[in-house]
Structure 1
């Protein structure tokens, strides 16, 4: 039996790993960069030298009074090139430390990326020494970066340090403090290697070979899948809340260790294995079977005891003999995710055979909702810290293992999942502007609308107000809620004059409905090219808290672990301002099957679609599943049969209900209201349930949450990213956001940037219509068009057609458009993209 090396055993590795001394160091002065500002430093030429790498060294923190967490608050550019996580060759740019870190205290079990695609993870700390000491590796503030691929050997270099904070922190803190800043050379062979937790395991004697796949079941309970020569995935399992709990089912033939369950292993049909593992009060039954070019992995966990038990299972996966590069939830930037239901995948890529590896997909809804993901030091985990089973109860999971042998890496994997899940084929017919801006100056309302929207070609505009929430909040903040007559009994709380009976007639909402109808009619009259939708939220409501039980939807409130109505203080203040001091708040409700709240939501949708003839509905936070498990995710007033809070030993503290699960029927009914009318639905956040995944709708991921979240949309019909990111005030800023979205295989979905765009052939509107065929790093291939920032030869359009190219330079300027080119059915399209530009090739249909 091999050594039990586990994921968070990294905490025991030596802290503060030695960094190589720089040769011929060019030392730069320390910097203190205020929030929202940048400093550019001049460097001499940095010529390449045989056997050497060029390294940038710095220590940096965001200055605060005490150590207080972290965020992506610093960006570096060399010669205006972002210094991101990976070099041009795909290697880790960070030298001498693991790409992710854990805090020395707090945030137990959570890993944070040290470096993302465009930013550095900055610790909040009083100084760089305390920043270093705040992480288990002792290097929280230290960055040693390989810049060999972007340094210029002639004409000099410029280094830009930017503080990404938008404003100063309370007390005048928030400066980006950079010390020990230097550039120099080092021997490539002397570079320290990042720590690895990949265990050594013996060979497995028994195996089944089908085609190019070999599946092996270890006598110690774990298993292995060889996908290519030199690339083999090993999977092990344990039960426990701590990441350093030793694996109990090992991927080898040795004798199981202390605490291991009783095992029974045997063949399962001609191409698979069956395993049963029995603990004193828990049983795992697992089958593995090769078929259709992948491995289907099914398992059932059963509580065989006489009380409700927590089941904190942990599946660990790694490549034999090498530290895999991971894509967690659709991004190589993620180190850990408390929830990844929207993209329930973990991909392991071989560092020695790049583009070859294995993708793991959670196929069943409950596994998607219960699982957590993380990857560190070459070992990945798919696990749960929120599962409990009642006596005699079971839960079934299904996963698949998808081999990648064509060199396409994660992109080959996720495209195969998209095809298997059937998510391709639903078109996104036109750009959908979340709001719009009107031009300044003279003109009638109709003339201003035409100047704002009429030049953009076919578009959709999403209008406010948010159904229910916003009209109520406006009335409250204006102090225009209905008041009791003099002498009437007073209401409890800080608004004793509130006439709750008059309020609950909801007559105050009528003016907002009328205004919505007028605005929609005005847009249609002035801009026949524009469709109109309304926005809604499926959970947030403006409520006077002392009388919250009077609301007809009171029984549908989300309850916290303390039994209180769930309220997010930030959103209450954002919507209600000072009225939060007068006992008003934004409370959260859940549309359970048959609930009064669900009927209220449906009633509003029908009115928008029928009475005002709107073209569709946009719904915020539609999946109830996010990358974290707080906020409105859980309701503690009931139990769904599986979800629970567990203590450090895995014992059940509290039972709860996952709103992402209980709202399935509500989501389907809401979608039916839209789709049955032949209209359009757009949701915020990707689907977390297969039944919803299968419907012809569109979803976006909010770009403001960062590039590492964009991959959550990879299993949506069209992976849209809302443009609430970057510079939204200039055309070049919007263009850079379009390119950033494409770098993650996604399509930009605009905010109110309509006045920055020129004509229908602008770089936003020309992204549409699109029906996705394939995603890639820097491109999206659709049936109607190819959108790319990557020069190359593309097997597109795949049929005889005429193709017109739209070429945009680095500022988003459209170059002269040539005549369409006729393409034969099997002819490849050669594309040359301008530096930092964009090419959109479109099938000509007229």
Structure 2
């Protein structure tokens, strides 16, 4: 048995983007005790191949065969220094009046309660088929707002192998709400951990080493008398159960395996209207580059530069262009979905406000900036529909985006302000108005919304003019609230649901940039992706080598398994043009390495000359209803997409069609075997792994 008496892991890489009191994640002292000491007494729940026990002091233990995993839980309270109450060994903390009741076994699970001067906790553990569901309900018993640092500390008798946080072999991670998972392993077992409630997902941090894992919530508070329930699920795994089997079971439990449409790309109606108006060219375009979903730009009211007129596009202009393009696309591809685009959290200011802000600080590079105090005075002088939802930083200043469109004497600056949606506020009303315009007035098939979840970036997420009742910074030495503020990812949940429900109730399609970050949006059947192109240097590995694992694509493992593609040459690399087709398909293979499919990002593969190729497998990935995602493959009801050799199964009446394409998207012949067994097709496919893509349909 490996016994660790003192362990300190500092995850400094996380500090750069952390809020004020998150200088590091630290996993430290257990006061000489063995944190993995086995619990031998207490009420026990028995599942298939595992059992769960709660000990007298509050320790929770999961046993799988001869292996065991132990959880002890800490709750902070304010003091000089900060104090801690514990569900686990030696739970009494001096001065806290902490009392842990014995666990009670019932038909519906095991219950245990503990209570002190500042807070109480009620834990329930229950078996739900293949998983264990645990809830910790914490109540503020004080007569003032109370900060609570909530920490789960997991331990085992031997070092974890594997030890994956959000699908990655890393020592620490923060704000991983899209993939709020950990996978712990021992020689004969594995244990998957999955956050389920919104607060735990939005605030989750983790640090791990050897046989210890800490999962923390460090920005949480309650008003007097209020409660919150942290909920998480445990997935006991027998020997051989890997990360992908855990993730696929979680996907089924969260009901995220709905049909994904595609292929997808954007289409600019002011740059490319000549193509729209030439039906033969448009037909040839869609025969070569097949599209199931096309998103029209300019966007509504934002990033709406018209490259023909050199000025922003009005709604009336956009309506005319959108209707004309919709009719043209559907005349040559009747099943195609034509959608419009809106921005999630950046809104264009009125022209007079844009000019005044520009004149106050002209010629700055394209970027996002906090407003200066004189600029804040300018902003306050305008009666904006978003005055109730402006994103305000710690210094009381708003944030604006400056970008440029056009060129030469037509180049113009455009300015947008950062906001956040919440039920009934100005941005929520604006979303609904834009959605009605696209669907009811323009007559499109749905909409795309950018930067939807707000959980992706701290600087565009938190606003400091109000408190949401949960989100705080905590003084780490005294445990007191240092700062109260609003998490836009939290307060906007119901506004996001209402927008999605409006679109879906009309039988329309919705696509959102950013994967779901909260429970209440997780299984809403809209399409989600993120932008993973900056995760890879596409010249960084050889064709045929397995692409590197990257954090950002792993966020898609619990949602629609798609990611927005790459724009070769985006970083100024002069080699991009002559390798264009190769880089597009290399990126698609990199996404498949993460179990994701590829959505175009303005892709235009040349037919001849430098960088030439075809769209290949990208034309045949959709529609797909995922059954499983794997390293190198997505297994669907309608088709299988893979870049690794293997044996696959597909249920269909007729013999499957197998297509294989090389790194340029050109068709190639490979060895295959197909046979039918009890109404199911068994296919053996031999590829040049990580350099070819096969589609079985």
TM-score of Structure 1 vs Structure 2, range by shorter chain: 0.7 to 0.9
Which of 587, 590, 602 is equivalent to 1:737? 587
Q: Measure, in 1, the Cα distance between the counterparts of 2:414 and 2:613.
A: 45
Q: Does 1:302 align with 2:128?
A: no
Using the size of structure 1 for normalisation, the TM-score is 0.66
Q: Does 1:837 align with 2:687?
A: no
Which of 101, 106, 109 is equivalent to 1:269? 106
- The alpha carbon displacement at 1:347 in A equals 1.8
**TM-aligned CA distance change 1:820 to 1:534, over 3 Å:** farther
Structure number with bigger Rg: 1
- The alpha carbon displacement at 1:567 in A equals 0.9
Q: Measure, in 1, the Cα distance between the counterparts of 2:275 and 2:317.
A: 27
Equivalence for 2:467: 639
Q: Measure, in 1, the Cα distance between the counterparts of 2:298 and 2:221.
A: 41
**TM-aligned CA distance change 1:561 to 1:276, over 3 Å:** farther
Q: Measure, in 2, the Cα distance between the counterparts of 1:214 and 1:662.
A: 38
Aligned residues: 628
Q: Does 1:713 align with 2:542?
A: no
What is the SS of the residue equivalent to 2:250?
helix
Q: Measure, in 2, the Cα distance between the counterparts of 1:255 and 1:605.
A: 53
Q: Measure, in 2, the Cα distance between the counterparts of 1:587 and 1:276.
A: 47
Which of 410, 428, 452 is equivalent to 1:622? 452
Q: Does 1:803 align with 2:656?
A: yes
**TM-aligned CA distance change 1:270 to 1:6, over 3 Å:** farther
Q: Measure, in 2, the Cα distance between the counterparts of 1:215 and 1:442.
A: 64
Conserved in 2, the CA contact under 8 Å of 1:537 and 1:619?
yes
Q: Measure, in 2, the Cα distance between the counterparts of 1:624 and 1:106.
A: 21
Q: Does 1:348 align with 2:202?
A: no
**TM-aligned CA distance change 1:811 to 1:227, over 3 Å:** farther
- The alpha carbon displacement at 1:743 in A equals 1.0
What is the SS of the residue equivalent to 1:803?
coil
Q: Does 1:109 align with 2:108?
A: no
Equivalence for 1:671: 500
Q: Does 1:592 align with 2:425?
A: no
Aligned counterparts, 1:223-622, within 5 A: 223-230=60-67, 232-240=68-76, 249=86, 261-270=98-107, 272-329=109-166, 331-350=167-186, 352-353=187-188, 356-405=189-238, 407-424=240-257, 426-435=258-267, 445-446=278-279, 448-471=281-304, 508-525=314-331, 530-543=336-349, 544=353, 546-562=378-394, 564-568=396-400, 571-573=401-403, 585-622=415-452
What is the SS of the residue equivalent to 2:387?
helix
- The alpha carbon displacement at 1:304 in A equals 1.0
- The alpha carbon displacement at 1:383 in A equals 1.3
**TM-aligned CA distance change 1:454 to 1:820, over 3 Å:** farther
**TM-aligned CA distance change 1:596 to 1:558, over 3 Å:** closer
Deviations 1:569-591 (A, max 9, x none): xx32467999xxx9974212233
What is the SS of the residue equivalent to 1:640?
coil
**TM-aligned CA distance change 1:669 to 1:290, over 3 Å:** closer
Conserved in 2, the CA contact under 8 Å of 1:726 and 1:737?
no
- The alpha carbon displacement at 1:699 in A equals 0.4
Q: Measure, in 2, the Cα distance between the counterparts of 1:259 and 1:4.
A: 28
What is the SS of the residue equivalent to 1:341?
coil
Q: Measure, in 2, the Cα distance between the counterparts of 1:672 and 1:248.
A: 42
What is the SS of the residue equivalent to 2:620?
helix
**TM-aligned CA distance change 1:374 to 1:357, over 3 Å:** same
Q: Measure, in 2, the Cα distance between the counterparts of 1:817 and 1:11.
A: 49
Q: Measure, in 2, the Cα distance between the counterparts of 1:264 and 1:575.
A: 65
**TM-aligned CA distance change 1:613 to 1:268, over 3 Å:** same
Q: Does 1:764 align with 2:618?
A: yes
Equivalence for 1:723: 565
- The alpha carbon displacement at 1:508 in A equals 4.8
Q: Measure, in 2, the Cα distance between the counterparts of 1:793 and 1:406.
A: 22
Moved more, 219-228 or 744-753: 219-228
- The alpha carbon displacement at 1:702 in A equals 1.2
Q: Measure, in 2, the Cα distance between the counterparts of 1:586 and 1:241.
A: 42
Q: Measure, in 1, the Cα distance between the counterparts of 2:99 and 2:407.
A: 60
**TM-aligned CA distance change 1:726 to 1:338, over 3 Å:** farther
- The alpha carbon displacement at 1:826 in A equals 4.5
Conserved in 1, the CA contact under 8 Å of 2:343 and 2:449?
yes
What is the SS of the residue equivalent to 2:656?
strand
Gapped runs of 5+ residues in structure 1? 13-68, 72-99, 112-135, 137-196, 482-506
Conserved in 2, the CA contact under 8 Å of 1:462 and 1:532?
yes
State the Cα RMSD in Å: 4.1
**TM-aligned CA distance change 1:305 to 1:461, over 3 Å:** same
**TM-aligned CA distance change 1:743 to 1:779, over 3 Å:** same
**TM-aligned CA distance change 1:799 to 1:394, over 3 Å:** same
Deviations 1:230-262 (A, max 9, x none): 3x22112223599x999863655x676768843
What is the SS of the residue equivalent to 1:784?
coil
- The alpha carbon displacement at 1:782 in A equals 0.2
- The alpha carbon displacement at 1:610 in A equals 2.7
Q: Measure, in 1, the Cα distance between the counterparts of 2:51 and 2:16.
A: 35
What is the SS of the residue equivalent to 2:460?
coil
Q: Measure, in 1, the Cα distance between the counterparts of 2:152 and 2:77.
A: 12
Equivalence for 2:366: none
Conserved in 2, the CA contact under 8 Å of 1:540 and 1:586?
yes
Equivalence for 2:641: 787
Q: Measure, in 2, the Cα distance between the counterparts of 1:803 and 1:584.
A: 51
Conserved in 2, the CA contact under 8 Å of 1:237 and 1:247?
no
Q: Measure, in 2, the Cα distance between the counterparts of 1:319 and 1:597.
A: 48
**TM-aligned CA distance change 1:462 to 1:560, over 3 Å:** same
- The alpha carbon displacement at 1:551 in A equals 3.8
Q: Measure, in 2, the Cα distance between the counterparts of 1:224 and 1:339.
A: 26
What is the SS of the residue equivalent to 1:767?
coil
Equivalence for 1:776: 630
Equivalence for 2:546: none
- The alpha carbon displacement at 1:467 in A equals 1.4
What is the SS of the residue equivalent to 2:219?
coil
